[in-house]
Amino acid sequence: MSFENLLVNTENNIAVVTINRPSKLNALNKLTIEELHSAISSLNADKNVKVIILTGSGEKAFVAGADISEFAHFTKEEGEALAAKGQASLFDLIENLSTPVIAAINGFALGGGLELAMSCHFRIASDNARMGLPETSLGVIPGYGGTQRLPQLIGKGRAMEMIMTAGMIGTERALSWGLINHMVAIEELLPFSKKIADKIIGNSPSAIAKAIETVNAGFKEGVNGYEVEISAFGACFATEDFKEGTTAFLEKRKPSFKGN
């Protein structure tokens, strides 16, 4: 795959997708969102890819926000269409992807950048990272799911404060609030993320896909997560991975999962 604003490298069942606009601090513009949609969709269809790591180029920024120059003169209707298209084509896509996506946050993750990281299944950050949703300082609100995902991760009160003050928090606070799972030195960010990915790769791809679906169900309006879990649990029994996993356990050997 060849892209203008992305670098994609796949090795040992792990795909690293790097947003590569260093002169713009990797800001999300229309093309980058389209390329991320294309890259992530293709990687999700590749059975050799078991985990996707999403990061930014350089050591200054994961994604420093959306490219404001593209929408500064939008109308109400154009603004609504921008948010709707972005959520559907990228942010909701990542959240509901059957392949696990880890955000490796290197530096600033602001506005659309933090929203992108929050759409991933979990987050690992370098100790120099700074995170925030500064949209209210521009006369707008987060439009790529930030008002929904941030309260889910850190609680309503903290999310309200972050959004209303438009302030940034450091990695230690993000860790204590549950916004990120791990904090590491910048040079350890990708190696550590790959270590976590390796632990995921050893487990059943089909079961992981069902787990993602089921956990997400609990956060959806009008959906009974317990009922989704019951159905997904039962569905696992019909998979080759279940047969392999239980057989390997009884035979006291490591399973060899293929996914299905």
Active site residues: 115, 135
Show the beta-strand stretches assigned E in 33-173.
51-56, 61-63, 101-105, 108-110, 122-126, 130-132, 168-170
Q: Give the Cα separation of 25 and 22 in Å (integer).
A: 5
Q: Give the Cα separation of 193 and 212 in Å (integer).
A: 19
Look up residue 90 and give its DSSP letter: I
| CA dist 148 → 85, 123, 155, 195, 219 (Å) | 17, 17, 10, 30, 10
Question: Environment class of residue 221 by beta-carbon count within 10 Å: exposed (0-12), middle (13-18) or buried (19+)?
Answer: exposed
What are the tokens at 41?
């969709």
- Paired residues of 110 in beta bridges: 132
